[in-house]
Structure 1
């Protein structure tokens, strides 16, 4: 039995499947301040709550915490960064950085807007 995922447009495939990156400051969720939940664009898995989102000034939505263990960390192909993917479908979300001091948790999940959807509360 194969898994059924949401259909993706070319840009979403480029980022989620082929591990691309959207241009900084172009994503629709970079400046979103609404309350709700961010989910995986490919499989709808809940990934981040809006209360963990913060303005890092990096040009991509930033979160200092994930929902449960729904975001998996894997060594990036470049050997310098840590990639974050949806634990359910493996879709590329972005990268995680630690020790920058933006929040008390000192963690920044830097996420491509094109990889996620937002469900407003």
Structure 2
């Protein structure tokens, strides 16, 4: 896998201020406000920072949480999980494995077949319709 590394000034120039705050500074958009939380059309969700394919629409489900949720990654090699102990909690952070952009978190309360819920910020992705 070819890692992508850019200087901070380039990230700031390529991303909107809101995308930068989430993808590079590990921010979170407010629930039910993201551009994809209720998108239902078929397609692929790609990393906003590097275009890596992350999630397919056929794994998306309505978790009722206000963020796009998926039960599995398109290719597990494209996402990385790390322990996140911020905000007085222990969670599992999900990052793009190519450019290290913050995507969101994964929880063990999703539907079959995986039982996982990838809770992902819309600002961390770009949607490519089929």
Q: Does the TM-score normalized on the shorter chain lie above 0.5?
A: yes
Does the residue aligned with 1:105 lie in a helix, a strand or coil? coil
Q: Cα distance 1:9–1:64, how it changes in 2: closer, same or farther (>3 A)?
A: same
Alignment of 1:14-29 (within 5 A): 14-29=21-36
Answer 1 or 2: which has greater helix percent. 2
Task: From 89, 104, 116, give the equivalent of 1:94.
Answer: 104
Q: Which of 94, 109, 114 is residue 105 of structure 1 equivalent to?
A: 114
TM-score, normalised to structure 2, is 0.85
Structure 2 residue aligned with 1:81: 91
Residues 47/22 of structure 1: CA separation in 2 closer, same or farther (3 Å cut): same
Provide the C-alpha distance between the structure 2 equivalents of 1:45 and 1:39, rounded to a whole number of angstroms.
Answer: 5
Runs of 4+ displaced beyond 6 Å: none
CA distance in 2, matches of 1:104, 1:87: 23
Structure 2: where are the runs of 5+ without partners? none
Farther off after superposition, 27-36 or 102-111: 102-111
Whether contact under 8 Å (1:56, 1:102) holds in the other structure is: no
TM-score computed with the length of structure 1 as normaliser: 0.91
Query: How well do the aligned residues superpose, as a CA RMSD in angstroms?
Result: 1.7
Deviations 1:63-88 (A, max 9, x none): 00102111110111325000000000
Matched pairs, number: 119
* Structure 1 unmatched ranges of 5 or more: none
